[in-house]
Amino acid sequence: MRTLVLIGHPDLAHSGTQAFLQAAAGALTDADEWDISAQGVPDSAEILRLQGEMRRYDRLIFQFPLYWYSMPGVFKQWLDTVWTTPFVSGRPGEAPPLAGKELGIVVTFSQAQQDYRLGGREHFSLSELLRPIAALGLAAQMQLLPIFPVAQFGYMTERERQHLLVTYAQYLSLPAGAHFADRAQWFAAWLTQHASAHSDYAAWAAALTAQQEQLADLHDTLAEMRREEDDAL
């Protein structure tokens, strides 16, 4: 799985959220990253080069803070310039260059996640607000991954940040629709690989591997209970 994260942030250097996510991606994944706000206005040769580079990946991630309910202007301007019509829709009689690849969205925002729903403070869901990206993905014949929302990073506890670290790295690395067992296996491998970084990692990895079957059962039961709870709302 070759993943490229396209980060569009008007002030990347001063974003704690983005710094955290970049550190997570660097430590836990093989994903590449582009800071597209630093690319300036590419000329036509540079546009072709960037398009060629993007075609080498299996998964592209749009990563940005939500500005007025959509991507920041700096990201949109880059898309308007670099994602030309032949690059998205293909030339007549040819498949679109990105057809079959995956498109993920990592969106950060300072509101609570439940604000984004019918009757919530922001009225619309993220799925509704980010529909232009869904339309772009459809035009390019890409497979859309579920949105990965990062709400109120500034208020997260250390434990929540650890959870974000792992789920974000998995969003970048794991096959789409990975089951709990895949996730546990991925995490065990990562813990083993980084055993020298923390005295407990090796033991956790061993426990994860040994108890994988019981953990998967437990996970399914919990997921079932959560579904029943949601249905009761």
Q: Pick from 20, 34, 57, 83: which binds a second copy (CB under 8 A)?
A: 83
Please, which of residues 105-124 interact with a second copy by CB under 8 A? 122-124
In the chain, where does DSSP find H-type helix?
16-28, 44-54, 73-82, 85-89, 126-129, 131-139, 158-173, 180-193, 201-210, 212-232
Total interface residues for a second copy by CB under 8 A: 31
Is residue 43 at the binding interface for a second copy, with CB under 8 A as the rule?
no
Q: Of 29, 198, 188, 191, which is closest to residue 104 (Cα–Cα)?
A: 29
Q: For tokens 């940040």, name the residue.
A: 161
72 binds a second copy (CB under 8 A): yes
> First vs last Cα of the chain: how many Å apart?
38
Whose structure tokens read 């729903």? Answer: 117
Nearest-approach distance from CB 67 to a second copy, in angstroms: 5
Query: Where is 5: in which H helix or E strand?
Result: strand 3-7
The verdict on 5 binding a second copy (CB under 8 A) reads: no
With beta carbons less than 8 A apart as the criterion, state whether 216 and 180 touch.
Answer: yes
Q: Which stretch binds a second copy (CB under 8 A): 24-32, 125-133, 159-167, 213-221?
A: 125-133
Give least dist CB 31 to a second copy, A: 24
CB-nearer residue toward a second copy: 70 or 185? 70
Among positions 26, 73, 100, 146, the unique one binding a second copy when judged by CB under 8 A: 73
Smaller CB separation from a second copy, 139 or 178: 139
Q: In whole angstroms, what is the distance from residue 165 CA to residue 174 CA?
A: 14
Q: What residues make contact with a second copy under the rule CB under 8 A?
A: 10, 67-81, 83, 88, 122-124, 128-129, 131-136, 138-139
